[in-house]
Amino acid sequence: MLKQNDTVDTAAQTAIAAPRADLLPRVDHRTLDQRYPSVAYMEARARRRIPRFSWDYMMGGIGEEAGIARNRRALSDVTLVPRYLADWDGPPQLATPLLGRTWDMPFGVSPVGFGGVIWPNAPQYLAAAARAANVPFGLSTVSTVTLEEIAGIAGHHAWYQLYAMADPEINRAILKRAQDAGYEVLVITVDVPKKMRRDHDVANGFGIPPRVDARMIWRAAIRPAWALAMLRAGTPRFENIVPHMGAGLSNAEMSKKFQAERDGRVTAGKLAWYRDIWPGKLVVKGLIAPEEAVAAREAGADAVVVSNHGARQIDAAPSVVEALPAVRAAVGPDYPILTDGAVRTGLDIMRYLALGADFVMAGRAFYLSVAALGAPGAAHAMHVLREELTITMGQLGCRQPRDLHRFLS
């Protein structure tokens, strides 16, 4: 796994300015801990606050959702062996080097498409909280906020995730915007090669634009806090795509054109093209097969994300827990690997690190925390995961994240 000094340029660390006060309000974590001591508590409140169609979109998988259960079951089954007689008394050091920077914790916020429908302005809140906590924030191509706005909020903590388009000039133009905005890390998602069909979204009429009917209106109306926040925020759109789809298109026309022009099949040759035109760090997200992780490395990727897209693409895909050790063996001990899937606790993060990951990303946990508490939920989720990591690593007798593989049972 990644060694402490690999790829870290401490001179490149920049001062972290205070995030905007409206996006990162002062939070009394001690008081919030009494009501929401874990992400699970915030998830339960989120379910009561957001409409059924938003909940299904965020939490659902594909098909029979066997993959969702497989991800969770496999992660819960990973056990760690504590060392109680260790001659060390903490606290653990959570700082983790990755992609040329040292982050304060070994986790970050995954890119989540259409995250503003889970809770309006959720990406902005999470970008501000990520900057304050010194962890990365991933912005999706299909976010409801522009990459320029997020760059202004998160600074170098923002990573840009790309869904590739068939027209290379559109890809080039989007990446030029990201480069001009100051993004240092580009994440290419490869595990959405074709249009997907999720039963719950079809049944709910969820899409861009949504199929508004009496049932959808009723489901929104009985969640008044969400409905009012959405009215204030305005109609959500794929803000990063709009400038490249042509002027004057309605939401429906823009969405249809985007789906027609999106080219999800990212080959090794296309990865090499992105490597040639992108001057920063390049990460390939969504790999499960070990040989494809090797191919991504050989194409010039600086890291890979072992992921099955939260079990949202193929219901029969292996869990990330099953795939991760083989990918680590294939790429070697020093090549950076990130991972995601089913993360709800600091212990879950530790499990992935013990299996061979260098860094862990989480999406649902963070967006649901914002849905539960609004802007304070972003910082509170960071706080909860930090506390869980610190306490549980202390229980294990583990000094730092890169040592967790020694505790795998």
Largest CA distance in the chain: 68
Tokens of 228: 């009012």
Q: Active-site residue among 156, 157, 244, 309? A: 309
Which residues, including other chains, have CB under 8 Å from residue 350's CB and lie 6 or more apart?
A: 80, 389, 392, 393, 396, 398, 401, 404
Q: Which of 407, 361, 358, 381 minimizes the C-alpha distance to 108?
A: 361
Tokens of 178: 């990201």
**Bridging pattern class, strands 96-98 and 185-189:** unpaired
Tokens of 160: 């840009």
Entry field: residues in the chain: 409
Tokens of 40: 């699970």
Which residues, including other chains, have CB under 8 Å from residue 176's CB and lie 6 or more apart?
A: none
Tokens of 140: 């999706």
Which residues, including other chains, have CB under 8 Å from residue 390's CB and lie 6 or more apart?
A: 90, 91, 92, 94, 346
Q: Is residue 380 annotated as a catalytic residue, yes or no?
A: no
- Active-site amino acid positions: 309
